[in-house]
Amino acid sequence: RTKKITTNSTGVVEFYSKNGIDPAWFHVIPNAVLPNHENVSKTALDRERVAAVLGISPEKKWIFSVGRLWPQKGYRDLIWAAETLRKMRQDTCYVIIGDGPEKNRLELFRDNVRAASELYLVGERRDVSKILPHADVVWNGSLYEGQSNVILEAMSMGVPVIASDIPGNRDLVIPDQTGALFPLGDVNKLVQLTDDLLSDSQKWRRWSNNAVRFVKEHHSLEQMVQGHKMLYEQ
């Protein structure tokens, strides 16, 4: 009976159109990121403080993921990739921020693959906006997704993102421009992309700068408000 359905992602439109809803009913209004996310300090002292809070080494390359501990998020593949990368490079650690019903299973899986030495499940935190800017890279391994606020927030902070190649993530991550995409389940490709990024400081800066610019141009609060305003006027 509805006239229009708002959503934040073309991936959502694709999903529901395959399940019988006319895509013409949908009106896509992308999520926005608040401006203060762009002004978080990245001083060495702050990094030391973050390292102390999380119990990780400030000398390591930090890979972060943020989200509910749920099968949809693909954390088992990410844990396996993190341990593979650590053995290759000897200079990385992987931090998962979030809580959920999969926590015990993920901890058991982490221990079974002997990844506990540099893999941290730190639970839910209220200070993610202060922690996330210090990541060297953010991983998203979702099996399906609408539009990830974590990816948007990381990009707005200049943190390169490597994410699963699914419709929702494709709206945000432009390969070799604002980040990289890996095929679902392809742990080796994720490891390769991350190793290449962490070994190439020029590529890291290019992705970082492009990501900040992309969010400013396409995901401002003003644009989101105007998107709703235009819909109501129509």
| pLDDT in the model for residue 1 | 79
Distance of alpha carbon 224 from alpha carbon 211, whole angstroms: 18
3-54 per-position pLDDT tens digit: 899 999 988 998 899 999 999 999 999 999 876 544 555 544 589 999 999 9
Question: Could you give the angle at the alpha carbon of 179 between the alpha carbons of 83 and 151, nearest 5°?
Answer: 80
Q: What is the rounded average pLDDT for all residues in the chain?
A: 92
Distance, C-alpha 222 to centroid of its chain: 23
| pLDDT in the model for residue 2 | 82
119-168 per-position pLDDT tens digit: 999 999 999 999 999 999 999 999 988 889 999 999 999 999 999 999 98
Distance of alpha carbon 60 from alpha carbon 65, whole angstroms: 16
Greater confidence, 14 or 206? 206
Count of C-beta atoms within a 10 Å radius of residue 159: 25
Q: Mean per-residue pLDDT for 82-105?
A: 96
pTM of the model: 0.90
| pLDDT in the model for residue 44 | 46
Q: Mean per-residue pLDDT for 160-178?
A: 95
Q: What percent of the chain has pLDDT over 90?
A: 82
| pLDDT in the model for residue 40 | 54
Is 73 buried (19+), middle (13-18) or exposed (0-12) by CB count in 10 A?
A: buried
- Bridge partners of residue 23, in order along the sequence: none
